[in-house]
Amino acid sequence: MKTPTSRVDKLLSSLGYGSRNEMARLGKAGGIVLDGVDLTDVSKRIPVTPDLPSRMEIDGEPLDPPQGIVILLHKPLGMTCSHKEDGALVYDVLPDRWRRRDPAISTIGRLDKETSGLLLMTDDGDLLHRVISPKKHVAKVYRATLARPLAGTEGALFASGELMLEGDDKPLKPALLEVVTPTEARVSVTEGRYHMVRRMFAAVGNHVEALHRERLGGLALPDDLAPGDWRLLDQAEIDAIFAGQP
């Protein structure tokens, strides 16, 4: 496959560093370095290779990944998966320039404001659609804290493929339930319906008081990643999402 190339000013502008004119001024001021040499002519075309962040510096910092950025966020309570709503947004924890990236960074699925845990964000549209595609059956695992003790019948009903949620016109696909304590359960689902886990427990006469996503496919939320913290995924971790999937 032929390696793509780009003008330096166009590349840096697409990554949110600033306008092309601003990149021209930055280059003339010695703020862009490639392979240890000041790159003053930002109209120059360069190969956009995976190793470019290790070879290029902007204002003394390594270049952001130029393509296929995948972010793992430990989403805290109170943040919304939106670009436009009022209040705290998941994008607020990222560098400001990442809001200006083109293609834009978007969440892979959503967690509601009162749900915490594993959330992925990316500018790779193909990856986004691959993760959320019903055909891929990527499991999402949640830990739910309940208002009332489990009755003991929920697991069979969730796994039956016959549970109907209020307002829906077709039953849920089979889901797995693991009892953790009398008022805690781990639920694995492969669909992404609105407030799905909360509505599942409402359908059996219970109420979810707290909900936390622990896993997406074969990728688990790291124990050492605190709420509000994030990091970039490497290719092995991205591949782990689909481990064991068709």
Query: Would you please indicate which residues are annotated as catalytic (active-site) residues?
Result: 112
DSSP lists the bridge partners of residue 80 as 89
137 near 190, Cβ under 8 Å? yes
Task: Report CA-CA distances (Å) from 238 to 130, 159, 162, 209, 211.
Answer: 11, 28, 32, 31, 24
Q: 211: helix, coil or strand?
A: strand
Distant-in-sequence, close-in-space partners of 174: CB < 8 Å, separation ≥ 6: 158, 159, 160, 161
Are the C-beta atoms of 213 and 117 separated by less than 8 Å? yes
Number of Cα atoms under 13 Å in the Cβ half of residue 212? 14
Beta carbons of 240 and 219 less than 8 angstroms apart: yes
Longest dimension (CA), the chain: 70
